[in-house]
């Protein structure tokens, strides 16, 4: 009898426990979060170290089951469009497709976030800042009031282009780093005269890999723009046509002279990576522009390969392109926004609250640090005196249990974040052993006198319709005006400006201007205070 009673008691306790568990499970909220699937061997996007950390530190205390929903990185726009159209998108959606999210804002398909951010996201709003949050706002009613529909991920490094000069050539010529355009030009001629690269000396080259000639020459053109004659509205209207701004023609006259004097690379418009790489490592180039760490990247081994061919040769950062009308060096930088993060409009309020809470939790430094760096002794072997992980282990050597992808899981940041611009720059320099100081200096130079690249949160139809044709004509123009006879420069300029306008630039300028006037623009004006 006692055994029967004991059995019944145990059974009742088990049933009670199961009932409580069932109740508890029902009491939990499921939060579905998009994650990019890059098909990394050994990395399970639905069950990984980072997700387990999120679940333990955020999910469990808040009774939220965080579920990652994998989406192919390479097809994310198409897949997300289908999911949104079918009402089956995750509760937190991610995309780099700005046009897509703007379309869905206009359709009323995105959750308005102002109240939720104000109530539940103090850490997130502090991490992003007011300026960056503005990239996720839009005036949908036409009343001048912008509302928050997107949480823009923070781009940790906005540096875009560095300028590199041969430090060993400067030493041989007895010159300091050029601090003005005139000093830079003097260096080019001196290097040519001295044949510092041998008979193949190429003192001046634009950009290694960019196939867009106008992009290559843009920083040179901007140096000559007369900002006393350019308004902020003009800057946004002509954002794809800097060659038409006042003063640009003088810049082209100088380029024409440099070309005919054999100072500018004769194949300046050539898009040939192999040839450019060869010229660089053979020590023929005296100057080029590219990403701020380009000369020291180990994937190309530019610096080390050049040292093998030319002992003592080295690249150093320089900052000579001073605009006379502003007395600034004018470095264009990337917009501060990266990934677009949003919540579909049909998501229930309690789920939207949970989503915003997750973003806020993710922006707390210690949480972000783990999601971006992983486990000491596994993903990295130590931290340095600045608290930055060193001896970072690649995914090919890390055990599957510790495999991770920082950018895709910690999606509120594009890039590794260590608390300050100085520490972030130091972190960027760590992979370049032996050249850390040069990399840090290059990033510092590339962030001097910056202006943020222009963009528009609306579709500029004329740009879609004519942009490619205009770009093609700009390429023809640049080649023509640089290679023509010096006495023909003004004539070529006038003819091509007329042609480019007739090709579609006039319509583009008109629509860009209208977008600016309506407040639908992003970016900054270099001529402002």
Query: Secondary structure of 458-498 in the HEC alphabet?
Result: CCCHHHHHHHHHHHHHHHHHHHHHHHCCHHHHHHHHHHHHH
Query: Secondary structure of 18-48 in the HEC alphabet?
Result: HHHHHHHHHHCEEEEEEEEECCCCCCCCCCC
Q: What is the pLDDT of residue 15?
A: 38
Residues 6 or more apart from 321 whose CB is under 8 A from it? 163, 181, 184, 219, 220, 222, 223, 329, 330
- Give the span between the Cα atoms of 57 and 65, in whole angstroms: 12
Domain count, the chain: 2
Q: Domain ends where: 385, 414, 443?
A: 414
Q: Domain ends where: 390, 414, 438?
A: 414
Burial of 196 (0-12, 13-18, 19+ CB in 10 A): buried
- Give the span between the Cα atoms of 108 and 528, in whole angstroms: 35
- Give the span between the Cα atoms of 439 and 426, in whole angstroms: 9
Whether residues 401 and 471 fall in one domain: no
DSSP β-bridge partners for residue 392 = 380
Question: Would residue 490 count as lying in a domain?
Answer: yes
Q: Which pLDDT tens digit goes with each residue over 195-245?
A: 999 999 999 988 755 556 566 688 899 999 999 999 999 999 999 999 999
Q: Which pLDDT tens digit goes with each residue over 108-149?
A: 999 999 999 999 999 999 999 999 999 999 988 888 889 999
Q: Which two tokens stand for residue 59?
A: 């999910």
Whether residues 193 and 300 fall in one domain: yes
| Domain span holding position 279 | 162-330+451-517
Instruction: Kindly give the confidence (pLDDT) of every residue in the chain, 529 residues in length, as a single tens digit, with 9 standing for 90 and above.
Output: 333 333 333 333 333 433 334 334 568 999 999 999 999 999 999 999 999 999 999 999 999 999 999 999 989 889 999 999 999 999 999 999 888 898 899 999 999 999 999 999 999 999 999 999 999 999 888 888 899 999 999 999 999 999 999 999 999 999 999 999 999 999 999 999 999 999 999 999 887 555 565 666 888 999 999 999 999 999 999 999 999 999 999 999 999 999 999 999 988 877 667 788 888 899 999 999 888 999 998 777 789 999 999 999 999 999 999 999 999 999 999 999 999 999 999 999 999 999 999 999 999 999 999 999 999 999 999 999 999 999 998 888 999 999 999 889 999 999 999 999 999 999 999 989 899 999 999 999 999 999 999 999 888 999 999 999 999 999 899 999 999 999 999 999 999 999 999 999 999 999 999 999 999 999 999 987 6
- Give the span between the Cα atoms of 391 and 368, in whole angstroms: 19
Question: Would residue 430 count as lying in a domain?
Answer: no
* Longest pairwise C-alpha distance within the chain: 116
CA distances from 522 to 409, 445, 528 (A): 27, 23, 14
Q: What is the pLDDT of residue 528?
A: 77
Q: What is the pLDDT of residue 208?
A: 54
Whether residues 146 and 173 fall in one domain: no
Q: What is residue 203's DSSP assignment?
A: -
Question: Would residue 202 count as lying in a domain?
Answer: yes
pTM for the whole structure? 0.87
Whether residues 105 and 220 fall in one domain: no
Q: What is the pLDDT of residue 274?
A: 78
Q: What is the pLDDT of residue 7?
A: 33
**From the centroid of its chain, how far is CA 12?**
60
Whether residues 47 and 175 fall in one domain: no
Asked if 123 and 364 touch (Cβ cutoff 8 Å), the reply is yes
Whether residues 235 and 350 fall in one domain: no
Question: Would residue 139 count as lying in a domain?
Answer: yes
- Give the span between the Cα atoms of 335 and 522, in whole angstroms: 8
Task: Say what angle helices 489-500 and 461-483 make with each other, to 10 degrees.
Answer: 170
Q: What is the pLDDT of residue 458?
A: 87
Question: Would residue 343 count as lying in a domain?
Answer: yes
- Give the span between the Cα atoms of 322 and 422, in whole angstroms: 24
Q: Domain ends where: 354, 386, 414?
A: 414
Whether residues 386 and 458 fall in one domain: no
Q: What is the CATH number of the domain that holds 40?
A: 3.40.190.10
- Give the span between the Cα atoms of 380 and 383, in whole angstroms: 8
Burial of 495 (0-12, 13-18, 19+ CB in 10 A): middle
Q: What is the pLDDT of residue 215?
A: 67
- Give the span between the Cα atoms of 172 and 186, in whole angstroms: 14
Whether residues 262 and 325 fall in one domain: yes
Q: Which two tokens stand for residue 437?
A: 């100081």
Q: What is the pLDDT of residue 211?
A: 53
Question: Would residue 442 count as lying in a domain?
Answer: no
Whether residues 172 and 278 fall in one domain: yes
Whether residues 324 and 345 fall in one domain: no
Phi–psi pair at 422, nearest 5 degrees: -65, -45
Whether residues 350 and 209 fall in one domain: no
Question: Would residue 150 count as lying in a domain?
Answer: yes
Q: What is the pLDDT of residue 306?
A: 95
Whether residues 246 and 228 fall in one domain: yes
Question: Would residue 487 count as lying in a domain?
Answer: yes
Q: Which two tokens stand for residue 329?
A: 């060096």
Q: What is the pLDDT of residue 529?
A: 65
């Amino acid at each position: 009898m006692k055994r029967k009673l004991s059995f019944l008691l145990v059974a009742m306790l088990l049933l009670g426990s199961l009932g409580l568990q069932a109740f508890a499970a029902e009491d939990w909220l499921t939060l579905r979060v998009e994650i990019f699937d890059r098909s990394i061997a050994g990395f399970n996007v639905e069950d990984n170290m980072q997700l387990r950390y999120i679940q333990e530190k955020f999910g469990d205390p808040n009774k939220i089951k965080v579920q990652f929903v994998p989406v192919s990185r390479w097809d994310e726009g198409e897949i997300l469009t289908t999911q949104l159209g079918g009402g089956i998108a995750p509760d937190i959606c991610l995309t780099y497709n700005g046009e897509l999210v703007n379309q869905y804002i206009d359709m009323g398909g995105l959750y308005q976030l102002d109240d939720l951010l104000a109530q539940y996201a103090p850490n997130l709003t502090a991490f992003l800042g007011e300026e960056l949050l503005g990239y996720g706002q839009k005036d949908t009613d036409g009343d001048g009031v912008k509302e928050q529909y997107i949480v823009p991920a923070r781009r940790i490094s906005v540096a875009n282009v560095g300028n590199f000069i041969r430090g060993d050539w400067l030493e041989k010529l007895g010159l300091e780093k050029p601090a003005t355009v005139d000093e830079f030009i003097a260096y080019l001629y001196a290097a040519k005269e001295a044949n510092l690269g041998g008979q193949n000396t190429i003192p001046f080259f634009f950009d290694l890999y960019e196939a867009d000639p106008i992009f290559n020459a843009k920083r040179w053109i901007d140096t000559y723009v007369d900002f006393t004659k350019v308004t902020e509205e003009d800057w946004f209207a002509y954002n794809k046509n800097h060659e038409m701004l006042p003063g640009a023609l003088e810049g082209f006259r100088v380029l024409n002279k440099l070309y005919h004097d054999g100072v500018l690379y004769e194949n300046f418009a050539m898009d040939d990576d192999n040839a450019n790489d060869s010229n660089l490592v053979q020590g023929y180039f005296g100057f080029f522009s590219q990403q701020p760490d380009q000369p020291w990247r180990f994937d190309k081994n530019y610096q080390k390969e050049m040292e093998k061919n030319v002992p003592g040769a080295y690249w150093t950062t320089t900052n000579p392109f001073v605009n006379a009308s502003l007395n600034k060096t004018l470095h264009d930088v990337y917009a501060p926004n990266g990934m677009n993060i949003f919540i579909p409009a049909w998501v229930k309020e309690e789920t939207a609250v949970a989503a915003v809470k997750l973003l806020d939790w993710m922006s707390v430094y210690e949480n972000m640090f783990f999601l971006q760096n992983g486990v000491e002794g596994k993903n990295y072997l130590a931290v340095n005196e600045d608290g930055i992980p060193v001896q970072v282990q690649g995914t090919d050597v890390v055990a599957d249990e510790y495999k991770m992808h920082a950018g895709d899981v910690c999606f509120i940041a594009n890039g590794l974040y260590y608390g300050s611009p100085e520490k972030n720059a130091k972190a960027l320099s760590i992979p370049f052993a032996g050249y850390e100081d040069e990399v840090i200096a290059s990033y510092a130079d590339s962030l001097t006198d910056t202006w943020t690249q222009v963009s528009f949160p609306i579709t500029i139809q004329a740009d879609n319709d004519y942009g490619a044709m205009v770009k093609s004509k700009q390429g023809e123009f640049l080649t023509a005006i640089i290679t023509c006879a010096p006495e023909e420069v003004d004539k070529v300029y006038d003819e091509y400006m007329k042609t480019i306008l007739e090709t579609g630039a006039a319509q583009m300028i008109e629509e860009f201007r209208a977008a600016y006037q309506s407040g639908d623009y992003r970016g900054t004006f270099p001529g402002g205070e």
